[in-house]
Amino acid sequence: MNKFTLSLLLFCVLSWEVVAQEKERTPIGGRPNIKGDLFLDFGFNFLNNRPEDLNTRFIASRVFNVYYQTSLNLGENSGVTFNPGIGLGLEKLAFQDDQTLVPNMEIGPNSSQIVPINEVFGENVLVDKNTIALNYVDIPLEFRYHLNRDNYNRGFRVAVGAKVGLLYAAHTKVEVTNADGLNQQVKNRQDYGLSPIRYGVYTRLGFPGFNVWSYYGLNGVFREGQGPFGTEATQFNFGVSVALF
């Protein structure tokens, strides 16, 4: 939670600096005349090409992205812009059947295997929460086509792009209650054999204030041979986003 709060504070500071540099504003009720977009993405996280034992729970496997992207016109009234940016990708995976990741010492400390939670916390425990958090610094790069060529802040638009992300933190979070009513909440920060870099392609379409989006990862979530069952699973995310400006 502290890291999440720090992330939001960072982007609030960035937003304030952008606003402070921009003197011109639109009338009340209109979209602020600030160059670029600050996107808040909400969505869900899936694993492609995974073994059956790595199935995830839909609602608990969530995505929250915060991206600032500037806009560079590619030709006068062409309708096309190039939109580089930077931001944070905060994701969760929640495995089914009350399973969690632990290091696989047969391979090495920087690896992982999936095990039942009761093998870690004992029999007869009630699992209240079970997720793994993956936090990235992302660099999205996209091209947008605006149907309204006269005003890019209005009308429908379609974007295709790619992004590269650097994993800066990962941890499992497990909360259990035993037969005596003792509640335990444990965060375990490990490498888990996760790929330190991710990259993939995405699309975004909608209007300036509201969009739908999807992302398809092109590399494995885990380093080769370091994840559970030697998995080569990749990411697929989708959801909706709102633009604060």
- Of residues 227 and 27, more confidently modeled: 227
- How many domains does the chain fold into? 1
Query: Mean pLDDT in the chain?
Result: 87
Full residue range of the structural domain in which residue 82 is found? 2-243
CATH number for the domain harbouring residue 77: 2.40.160.20
Closest CA to 140 of 52, 34, 5, 36: 36
Whether the predicted model's global pTM rises above the 0.75 cut: yes
DSSP 102: E
DSSP 16: H
Percent of the chain with pLDDT over 90: 71
pLDDT in tens, 152-195: 888 999 999 999 999 999 999 999 998 888 898 999 999 999 99
Q: Bridge partners of 236? A: 46, 216
pLDDT at 124 over 70: yes
